[in-house]
């Protein structure tokens, strides 16, 4: 047993653990797990079977990663949870592996998942995402890079949250939220673009202005979605960010998050 593994830890012999992993007291690591170098498991962490955790992660007490999905369709098939590098997973977070033979729940790199948050089966979480305490993300949700969730949010299954979205605390998300937007409420409604997040991401002022114009055409005009998209393509200079926004709205399957009712003042 490694000197970095507490003697009370229970580790399945079929688990693969790289050097310099620290395993605290009363941790449990199941079969066919992988833990990358430099990762620290604080006390009372449980890693269920078929879970892969990357390098230099911090997993805090009470976290339960890779448990079976809360899904009536799950019949015990082999499925997986994959967590990338440099993630912080705080106390009592739960992340479930997928439903479906050979399917994955995937968490990217450099994410902060705060205490008591839950991420359901078959979710795809990108990079640099911040998920505040008590957030509940249902199954089959996709979250793009640099999204932020305020505390006690709930996200309905099959939603997609775009890059650099900020969702206000205690919101209930029932539809897709397009990239670069601010949203809040129950149900959550878009009310502006995420200017602060765009600045922090070093998006140039011209593109920020263009995105705000696109937001106004989508949410503050009398145009329907098809007309707004046509106006955006005709009136606003293309950029990678604008192209991503247009493509997101075009491909969303559940209907993109609709116009705000009495949105907060700008």
Q: What is the CA radius of gyration of the chain?
A: 20
Position 3 confidence tier, pLDDT thresholds 50, 70, 90: confident
Rounded Cα distance between 20 and 36, Å, is: 9
Q: Which CATH number fits domain 10-140: 2.160.10.10, 3.40.50.2030, 3.30.1540.20, 3.40.718.10?
A: 2.160.10.10
Contact 193, 217 (CB under 8 A): no
Residue 184: which residues within 8 A CB-CB, separation 6 or more? 150, 167, 168, 169, 171, 191, 264
Rounded Cα distance between 35 and 21, Å, is: 7
Tell me the pTM. 0.94
Question: What mean pLDDT value characterizes the chain?
Answer: 94
Is the pLDDT score of 247 beyond 90?
yes
What is the structure's pLDDT at 252?
81
Beta strands across the sheet bearing 16-17: 16-17, 34-35, 51-53, 80-83, 104-107, 124-125, 142-143, 160-161
Position 256 confidence tier, pLDDT thresholds 50, 70, 90: low
Q: Which CATH number fits domain 199-251: 3.90.320.10, 2.30.40.10, 1.20.1180.10, 3.40.50.300?
A: 1.20.1180.10
Position 265 confidence tier, pLDDT thresholds 50, 70, 90: very low
Position 263 confidence tier, pLDDT thresholds 50, 70, 90: very low
Q: Domain limits of the chain? A: 10-140, 199-251
CA 72 from centre of chain: 23
Position 115 confidence tier, pLDDT thresholds 50, 70, 90: very high
Interval 177-186 mean pLDDT: 98
Half-sphere exposure of 49 (CA within 13 A, CB side): 9
């Amino acid at each position: 047993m490694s000197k970095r593994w507490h003697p009370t830890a229970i580790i399945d012999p079929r688990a693969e653990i790289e050097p310099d992993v620290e395993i605290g007291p009363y941790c449990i690591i199941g079969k066919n797990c992988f833990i990358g170098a430099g990762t620290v498991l604080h006390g009372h962490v449980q890693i269920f079977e078929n879970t892969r955790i990357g390098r230099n992660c911090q997993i805090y007490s009470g976290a339960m990663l890779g448990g079976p999905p809360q899904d009536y369709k799950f019949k015990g098939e082999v499925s997986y949870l994959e967590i990338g590098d440099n993630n912080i997973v705080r106390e009592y977070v739960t992340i479930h592996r997928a439903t479906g033979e050979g399917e994955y729940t995937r968490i990217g790199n450099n994410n902060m998942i705060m205490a008591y948050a839950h991420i359901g089966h078959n979710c795809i979480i990108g990079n640099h995402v911040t998920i505040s305490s008590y957030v509940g993300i249902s199954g089959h949700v996709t979250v793009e890079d640099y999204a932020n969730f305020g505390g006690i949010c709930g996200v309905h299954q099959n939603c997609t949250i775009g890059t650099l979205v900020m969702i206000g605390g205690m919101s209930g998300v029932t539809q897709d939220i397009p990239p670069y937007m601010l949203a809040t409420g129950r149900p959550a409604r878009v009310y502006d673009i995420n200017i602060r997040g765009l600045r922090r991401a070093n998006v140039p002022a011209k593109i920020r202005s263009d995105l705000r114009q696109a937001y106004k055409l989508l949410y503050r005009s009398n145009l329907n979605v098809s007309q707004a998209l046509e106006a955006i393509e005709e009136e606003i200079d293309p950029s990678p960010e604008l192209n991503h926004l247009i493509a997101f709205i075009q491909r969303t399957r559940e209907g993109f998050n609709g116009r705000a009712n009495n949105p907060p003042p700008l």
